[in-house]
Structure 1
Amino acid sequence: MADGPQQLTTGTDELLATLDEGVLTLTLNRPGSRNAYSLALLDALGAALDSADGDERVRVVVVTGAGESFCAGGDVKVMARGESLFGPADDVEARRTRHAGAQRATTVRLAEFAKPTLALVNGPAVGAGLALALACDLRVAAESAVLRTGFTRAGLAGDFGCSWLLTRLVGPARATELLLTSRALTAADARDWGLLTDVVPDAELAERGTDLARALAGISPLALRAVKENVARALTHGLAESADAEVDWHVRLVDTPQHRAAVAALNVRNGR
């Protein structure tokens, strides 16, 4: 790995990318709009995830926001003008196609990403911005962060997979409540509901995120991929099939040099 952080180009100032010790940090950089989505930001985020997937230097992906917000999702200023990010107002099919493509390239891609992903929720995560956080494997938030679906407040129902992600994480009853009411959850409540992995003081979020991401980057990438596949399979398959798949991965991982090195290190630490 290269010495020191590397600033990577994304094609726009609206998304910043830094690679450091195997950790790629993607920072949504529209603080004046609470990091709401623009076409440039969505396109850059999708392209960055594509690149990270095939880049062996990248072992963990972190997503966060610049300034005081994580992501506001849709830009209400654009909505107020009666405009859509995804095409002319009178071309419904073009808007639907572009909208669906943007979802698949961002939240869907994150939810299915082979490498570990971490959302550092530094402030409000609303609507499609909430979906972006929920699509990550782990979600650590600042104490001041607020999570809200927000769609019904704008006369909408949801997009970017928010309904699916919420239902998977908290069950249909609570997902329905959050989507119907647009109730705001404090970070502490969101953690108690299972939406967040951890909550830390605002001033400690960056350090906590760095420590967690670097710890993951130090683990065998193949083992981490196996964990993600095992959990995903458990959502759609029975116990016996899931256990068999775990064995398939176990047999494969036992024969890797990463496993042998890890076991040797454990024995050294245990004085054996």
Structure 2
Amino acid sequence: MTFVEYQRVGAVGTITLNRPDRLNAMTADFLEDALLAFTAAADDPHTRVVVLTGAGRAFCAGGDLSQGPGGAVGGVGTLQQQTDRLRRFMRTSQLLHDMPKVTIAAINGACAGAGLSWACAVDLRFASETARFNAAFLGAGLSGDFGGTWLLPRLIGAARAAEKYLLSEPFDAQEAQSIGLVSRLCAPEELMNTVNEVAERLAASAPIALRHIKENLRDSSSTSFEVALDAEAARHSYCVGTADAAEATDAFLNKRTPTFQGH
């Protein structure tokens, strides 16, 4: 059985976390499959948008503590070996955050621990109105992994992120939207339709511009304004010279739908 599946239809790739009997909780085998699926999505030259969601009634409940303390990465080998293994699995968050495609989380249910970290690593988060969230690490005697402590403050602010990690209290989808963690709430039965419609619309847009917008936004939290202006000017100027920009202008002037080729 494959615990994390990647499929592409047209220019939209979908990664499905597929361990529904355990709320898509992470084990070592699950994370090995995740590395393969996330890498396949990042490397697929035909994919422009990647959707991440969970099978069943959960998005991802984090590490599977039935595997012992630390779930998938604890208890085997030396401390350094455990650290190295965890860091290798945490590359999944880097792939979501850094891949040159727009990433969207369709949060269909429980989203906790490292699952919340994955949700924070994507570009857009849409959630079911019945989704539930929790940093959850402190209750498991853990400090946090998969990049959540770096990502969450950048999404909701340092004070709110500290509250979520230190108090470790569950919160609902309505609060997730109010604090800026998710951008849109959907009825459970409409979530995937809404996400797929947005993904298709993004996939039909100019891919070079889409990639550079993501790079500008990604870099904005780690560079000075001056450096950001330099990068923004360079990327924008590059886009001006693309065939896609010429196609967009011609389509606008002639009141037609543009067709972008990615060059």
Same-fold call, TM cutoff 0.5 = yes
Match of 1:239 among 225, 229, 233: 225
SS of 2:59's partner is coil
Contact residue 27 and residue 67 of structure 2 kept, 8 A: no
Partner letter of residue 55 of structure 1?
Answer: D
Contact residue 24 and residue 54 of structure 2 kept, 8 A: yes
Contact residue 2 and residue 33 of structure 2 kept, 8 A: no
Q: How does 1:72-221 map to 2 (within 5 A)?
A: 72-79=61-68, 84-86=71-73, 88-89=75-76, 91-104=78-91, 106-221=92-207
> Relative to 1, partners in 2 of residues 1:89 and 1:46: Cα closer, same or farther, differing over 3 Å?
closer
Identity %: 36
Contact residue 35 and residue 69 of structure 1 kept, 8 A: yes
What is the alpha-carbon distance in structure 1 between the residues aligned to residue 228 and residue 37 of structure 2? 32
Cα shift readout 1:149-192 (whole Å, capped 9, x = no counterpart)? 01111121211111111111112111111001111121111111
CA shift, 1:112, in A, is: 1.5
Contact residue 65 and residue 71 of structure 2 kept, 8 A: no
What is the alpha-carbon distance in structure 2 between the residues aligned to residue 208 and residue 70 of structure 1? 16
Cα shift readout 1:82-137 (whole Å, capped 9, x = no counterpart)? 57523644522211110111112x11221122111000000010000000111000
> Relative to 1, partners in 2 of residues 1:177 and 1:84: Cα closer, same or farther, differing over 3 Å?
closer
Tell me, which stretches of 5 or more residues in structure 2 are unaligned? 257-263
Partner letter of residue 118 of structure 2?
Answer: L
CA shift, 1:47, in A, is: 1.8
> Relative to 1, partners in 2 of residues 1:190 and 1:83: Cα closer, same or farther, differing over 3 Å?
closer
What is the alpha-carbon distance in structure 2 between the residues aligned to residue 127 and residue 16 of structure 1? 21
Partner letter of residue 64 of structure 2?
Answer: D
> Relative to 1, partners in 2 of residues 1:259 and 1:164: Cα closer, same or farther, differing over 3 Å?
same
Structure 2 match to 1:7: none
Structure 2 residue 25 is matched with structure 1 residue 39: no
Structure 2 residue 7 is matched with structure 1 residue 18: yes
What is the alpha-carbon distance in structure 2 between the residues aligned to residue 134 and residue 83 of structure 1? 20
Partner letter of residue 193 of structure 1?
Answer: I
CA shift, 1:268, in A, is: 2.7
Contact residue 61 and residue 114 of structure 2 kept, 8 A: yes
Contact residue 87 and residue 98 of structure 1 kept, 8 A: no
What is the alpha-carbon distance in structure 1 between the residues aligned to residue 64 and residue 71 of structure 2? 9
Structure 2 residue 49 is matched with structure 1 residue 60: yes
> Relative to 1, partners in 2 of residues 1:121 and 1:208: Cα closer, same or farther, differing over 3 Å?
same
Contact residue 70 and residue 129 of structure 1 kept, 8 A: yes
Partner letter of residue 54 of structure 1?
Answer: D
What is the alpha-carbon distance in structure 1 between the residues aligned to residue 227 and residue 74 of structure 2? 44
> Relative to 1, partners in 2 of residues 1:267 and 1:111: Cα closer, same or farther, differing over 3 Å?
same
Q: TM-score, normalised by structure 2?
A: 0.92
Q: TM-score, normalised by structure 1?
A: 0.89
What is the alpha-carbon distance in structure 1 between the residues aligned to residue 58 and residue 87 of structure 2? 25
Structure 2 match to 1:259: 245
Q: How many residues align structurally?
A: 256
Contact residue 74 and residue 128 of structure 1 kept, 8 A: yes
Contact residue 64 and residue 71 of structure 2 kept, 8 A: no
Contact residue 87 and residue 94 of structure 1 kept, 8 A: no
What is the alpha-carbon distance in structure 2 between the residues aligned to residue 69 and residue 94 of structure 1? 30
